[in-house]
């Protein structure tokens, strides 16, 4: 038989343990609150929220934790939106990203542009921006100029390299102080584009990705320009020294060629899929287009234009898009941090 011996001090010891536990719990709560308060400094309360012009983005309690960026103005110690867009932030800089607007340009962006005119030793390129864009003859890497300096005769013969209305793939090299965008094609992934179609979409639907040039299994190549210009064509033939995942830079070999009927049909389907994504303001990327293409072409009776009919987009295809959107967070306008 067990014998339990109690003393007058047992009750006091028990009370001391209770007091100690309360102190530990209170300190834990304080530490948790402090941690939550510290974490607020790196979180934006209205991130991804769609705001209207004049709507309050940050009140006076949160205003001191952020710096005012584009699309905002300060009034009554609060930040208000001055454009229609989504709230986003980088570190402590908060700004409103517009849903629509002209392309502003950023160094290193891959663009698809159209030659507009020739001025002196530069091509004027249309990239859908408020700013002027130039491609200098010295910023090209064409085989006829290899290993030698550009001469005056080369400037005279510029019309034989890029003509007006030619479509090219290029990159922003730098942006001058007056806002002029300087382009270059000094890489094997840039150059003249042919044997395809150009489609222009809102530039906010295309975000920075690891790759912007893709080849679909259906033998169709797509180039997603950050300026909202998309080039869809048959895969461009590569020279021996060219990266297989890039556009051939050799102007002499990049000529207009006959495109077979199957490839034309696939180009039309992908073009219409992109138009459908633009209609519903869905981000445009390779995975999205490929999944919809596979789902749509599973029925061999579907024609390229059938996907654009209202009752098809609103019932048959949109149900699939909505189902896929629940499992993929990349749908809808997002930002690149």
Q: Give the mean model confidence (pLDDT) for residues 215-233.
A: 93
**Of 18-22, 47-51, 96-100, 308-312, which gets the smallest average pLDDT?**
18-22
Domain 43-99 part of CATH 2.40.50.100 = yes
CB 88 within 8 A of CB 48: yes
pLDDT in tens, 301-315: 888 888 887 777 665
Q: Give the mean model confidence (pLDDT) for residues 51-57.
A: 87
The pLDDT-based confidence of 242 (bands split at 50, 70, 90) is very low
Q: Dihedral, CA atoms, 102, 104, 109, 114, nearest 10 degrees?
A: 50
| 43-99 against 101-193: fold identical | yes
CB 72 within 8 A of CB 98: no
Res 228: pLDDT: 92
CB 236 within 8 A of CB 195: yes
Res 114: pLDDT: 94
Element (H, E) at 266: helix 261-279
* Nearest CA-CA partner of 174 in 183, 186, 163, 162: 183
The pLDDT-based confidence of 330 (bands split at 50, 70, 90) is very low
Domain 101-193 part of CATH 1.10.150.570 = no
Res 139: pLDDT: 81
Return the domain boundaries, the chain: 43-99, 101-193, 195-240+259-329
Cα separation values, 116 from 113, 173, 200, 212, Å: 9, 19, 16, 23
- Token pair belonging to 19: 């007091």
pTM score: 0.70
Q: How many other C-beta atoms can be found within 10 angstroms of the C-beta atom of residue 41?
A: 10
Q: What is the DSSP string of 54-101?
A: T-EEE-HHHHTTSEE-TTEEEETTEEEESSSEEEEEETTEEEEEESS-
Q: Is the pLDDT of residue 199 over 90?
A: yes
What percent of the chain has a predicted confidence (pLDDT) above 90? 23
Res 74: pLDDT: 87
pLDDT in tens, 106-131: 888 999 999 999 888 899 999 998 88
At CA 54, angle to CA 53 and CA 56, rounded to 5? 115
* 151 vs 270, more confident: 270
């Amino acid at each position: 038989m067990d014998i339990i011996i109690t003393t007058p001090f047992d009750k006091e010891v028990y009370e001391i343990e209770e007091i100690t536990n309360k102190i530990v719990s209170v300190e834990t709560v304080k530490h948790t609150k402090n941690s939550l308060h510290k974490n607020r400094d790196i979180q934006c309360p209205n991130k991804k929220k769609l705001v209207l012009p004049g709507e309050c983005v940050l009140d006076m309690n949160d205003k001191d934790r952020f710096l005012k960026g584009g699309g905002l103005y300060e009034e009554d110690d609060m930040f208000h939106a001055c454009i229609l867009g989504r709230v986003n932030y980088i570190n402590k800089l908060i700004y409103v990203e517009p849903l629509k607007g002209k392309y502003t340009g950023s160094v290193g962006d891959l663009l698809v542009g159209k030659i507009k005119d020739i001025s002196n030793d530069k091509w004027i390129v249309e990239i859908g921006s408020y700013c002027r864009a130039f491609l200098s003859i010295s910023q090209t890497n064409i085989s006829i100029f290899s290993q030698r300096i550009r001469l005056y005769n080369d400037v005279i013969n510029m019309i034989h390299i890029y003509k007006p209305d030619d479509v090219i793939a290029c990159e922003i090299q730098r942006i001058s102080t007056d806002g002029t965008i300087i382009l270059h094609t000094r890489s094997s992934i840039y150059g003249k584009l042919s044997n395809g179609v150009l489609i222009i979409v809102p530039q906010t639907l295309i975000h920075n990705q690891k790759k912007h040039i893709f080849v679909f299994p259906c033998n169709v190549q797509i180039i997603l320009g950050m300026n909202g210009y998309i080039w869809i064509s048959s895969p461009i033939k590569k020279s021996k020294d060219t990266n297989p995942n890039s556009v051939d830079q050799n102007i002499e070999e990049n000529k207009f060629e006959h495109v077979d009927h199957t490839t034309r049909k696939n180009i039309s389907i992908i073009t219409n899929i992109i138009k459908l994504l633009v209609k519903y303001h869905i981000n445009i990327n390779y995975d999205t287009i490929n999944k919809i293409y596979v789902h749509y072409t599973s029925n061999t009776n579907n024609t390229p234009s059938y996907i654009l009919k209202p009752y098809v987009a609103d019932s048959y295809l949109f149900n699939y898009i909505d189902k896929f959107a629940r499992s993929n967070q990349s749908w809808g306008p997002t930002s690149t941090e």
